[in-house]
Structure 1
Amino acid sequence: MSPEIRLKKNPLAIKRSLVETLLTLAVVAIVIGGYLQSRTKDLQTFELKYTQLEATGQLLYADTKLDSTTFEKATVISITDGDTIKIRRADDTEADIRYIGIDTPEIKHQEAGTDEPYGPQAAAFNSWLVLNKGVYIQKDTAETDKYGRLLRYVYLENGIMVNYALIRQGYATILTVPPNVAFQQQLYSAQELARNEGLGLFKPE
C-alpha cells in the first residue's frame, strides 16, 4: 500500500489570499458606503427643496378636481428614468407613461453607455415622488409617442404636477412637442426659476 501523501499548503500563499480577500471586502464596503452616503444626501436634498417649494406655493397644482371625468387613477409600479414610469391601471393592465413637456438626462445612454450628468438624480427624484404611489394621469392631445408610450401629465394625490416638479427642482428641461402644449408656459416658467436659482442641471460649473 502506497503511503498517503499529504500536501502542505504554503502559509505565505494562505496569508496572501486572506489579505487579498480582506482588501476586496474593504473596497466593496467603501464603494457601498459611498453610494449609500451619496444616496442619503440626494434624498435629503430632494425632500428639503421640495418641502420648501410646496410650503411657499411654488409648485403647480391641478386646476380642476382630481376625478374620473378628467383624470385616470393609476398606481406607479416601476421607474424607467426621470421622465418615464410604468403604471398599473384600474383594470389591472400595465402601461408605460412618458411625461409630457419635459426631458431628463438619460441613464446608460444608448450611444455613450454611461449615465448622463444628473440622470441618476433625476431618476431618483422621480422615484422618490411617485414609486408605489397612487397618481392621477391626464391626457393632452396626442395619445402616444413613437415608442408607444402614453403621453401624460402626472399628478400626485395632493394635486401637484410631477412634470412641473421635476423641472422646478432642476432635474429636467422643457421639451415641447406639439400638439401637447397645454402647460407649455407653466413648464417654461419653472425652468427659468430653476435656472435663476442654479438648481440641478442649471448649477453653475
Structure 2
Amino acid sequence: MPDTLTPACAATRDWVEGFVVAHNVCPFARRELVAESIRFVEVSAAQWEPALQALVVECRRLDASAAIETTLLVLRSGLEDFDDYLDFLAVAEALLVEQGYEGTYQLASFHPDYCFDGAEQDDPANFTNRSPWPMLHLLREAGLEHALTHYPDPEAIPERNIERMRQLGSERLAAELAALRPPRRD
C-alpha cells in the first residue's frame, strides 16, 4: 500500500517477505505482497477498546476498498503476554460476529511467543504463527475461498508448514525472527 509505514509495520512487511514468503508459510502471500494489496497498520493495544475500534475501522476500510485484500494489525505495547493476547483475540473474534462480519472477514493470529494448544513452547511448528509483534491478520473470506479453490491440496498446507519448520529447527527460526525485528522503542 502507498501509506508510509511505521518502523513496526516496515519490520512486519519485511517479516512477510523474508519469513512468510521465503519459507512459503502462506502460499498466497507473495501474490498479495507483489500486488501491494496488504495493508499494514500499527495499533497500540495498551487499552483494548481503542485497539478493538481500530479493528472495526479496518473492516470498514476493507468494505470500502477492493484494492486491499488483507490487513495486518500490528499490536504494539499491551499484549506481550501470550495469554493476554489470546484473551484479546477471543474478544476481537466476538466483535467481528457482533458487527456482522462473520463470514465476511476472519482473523488469523500471530504472536512472538505463539504456542499451539498442546504443543511444547520450543516446538518449531509454533513458528508458523510467530511474528515480530502480536498481530491480527484480517482476511477477506471470499478472497481466501477463491485462493484455496485454485490451490492444489490446500488441506496439506498446515502439515507441510509444520514439517518445514521442524526441518529448519527452533534455533534457526528464532534467529531469523529476531533479525527481522528492530530494537524495541517502547
TM-score by length of 1: 0.27
Q: Which has the larger radius of gyration?
A: 1
Instruction: Answer 1 or 2: higher relative contact order, Cα 8 Å, separation at least 6.
Output: 2
TM-score by length of 2: 0.29
Higher helix proportion (structure 1 or 2)? 2
